[in-house]
């Protein structure tokens, strides 16, 4: 019987800290992408078996094959790597208490589903991932440019503020000097008048 999706995390998986199960950003994107029902259509159309024992979920198989192709691993190396990695187990929907499918099981499913189906689906994922990385890079570059402009703007603002402050300080000092000169002149004029009074008398 064709099983499309994995059963999801069990109790033991929920005990594992979130940071230990967290996926790298690109793998999280692929995980979200593979939730699209269009990736299940070829399997439903060609292998929708209504009877028999439930096999490996297609969602798990696709993720295992993605890791295999992306990292250029053989079946045995893939099984060993997934068995030893909590994030990869989480990505594939394999609980920490569950056994990773054997190399012979994976090879048998590949023979059943057809290598060409996997190549086509992997191409779709890779193309989407490339576009996503390009878009993310553009966003990062745009963000860096905005930050640079902000820094330049902030630098210009600081320089203008410093200039205004210096100008105001100079104006205050000049005003104080003028006021001091006026006071001195007023005192001098008072003294001069006082000297002239006795002469007139």
Q: Tell me: the pLDDT tens digits for 72-121? A: 999 999 999 999 998 999 999 998 888 999 999 999 999 988 888 888 88
Return the axis-axis angle of helices 115-200 and 58-71, rounded to nearest 10°: 70
pLDDT: which is higher, 182 or 157: 182
92-119 in b/e burial notation, b at 16+ Cβ within 10 A? bbbbeebebbeeeebeebbeebeeebbe
pLDDT at res. 125: 87
Percent of the chain with pLDDT over 90: 23
* Contact partners, residue 22, CB within 8 Å, separation at least 6: 87
pLDDT: which is higher, 65 or 42: 65
Tell which residue, 128, 10, 120, has the closest CA to residue 62: 120
pLDDT at res. 164: 66
Name the pTM for this structure. 0.62
Question: Using one digit for the tens of pLDDT, what is the confidence trace for 26-55?
Answer: 899 999 988 888 888 888 877 766 655 677
Q: How many CB atoms lie within 10 A of CB 31?
A: 17
Which region holds residue 18: left if phi is over 0, alpha if psi is between -120 and 50, else beta? alpha
pLDDT: which is higher, 93 or 165: 93
Handedness of CA 59, 65, 67, 69 (dihedral sign): negative
- pLDDT surpassing 70 at residue 166: yes
């Amino acid at each position: 019987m064709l099983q499309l999706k994995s059963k999801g995390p069990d109790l033991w998986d929920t005990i594992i800290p979130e940071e230990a199960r967290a996926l790298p950003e690109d793998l999280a994107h692929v995980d979200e992408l593979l939730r699209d029902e269009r990736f299940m259509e070829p399997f439903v159309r060609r292998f929708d078996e209504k009877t028999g024992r439930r096999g490996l979920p297609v969602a798990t198989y696709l993720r295992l094959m993605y890791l295999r192709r992306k990292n250029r691993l053989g079946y045995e190396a893939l099984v060993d790597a997934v068995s030893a990695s909590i994030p990869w187990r989480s990505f594939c929907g394999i609980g920490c208490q569950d056994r990773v499918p054997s190399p012979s099981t994976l090879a048998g499913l590949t023979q059943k589903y057809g290598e060409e189906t996997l190549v086509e689906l992997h191409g779709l994922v890779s193309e989407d991932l490339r576009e996503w990385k390009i878009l993310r890079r553009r966003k990062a570059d745009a963000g860096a440019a905005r930050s640079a402009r902000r820094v330049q703007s902030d630098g210009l603002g600081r320089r203008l503020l410093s200039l205004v402050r210096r100008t105001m300080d100079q104006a205050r000092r000049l005003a104080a000097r003028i006021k001091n000169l006026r006071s001195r002149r007023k005192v001098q004029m008072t003294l001069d008048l006082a000297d002239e009074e006795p002469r007139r008398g």
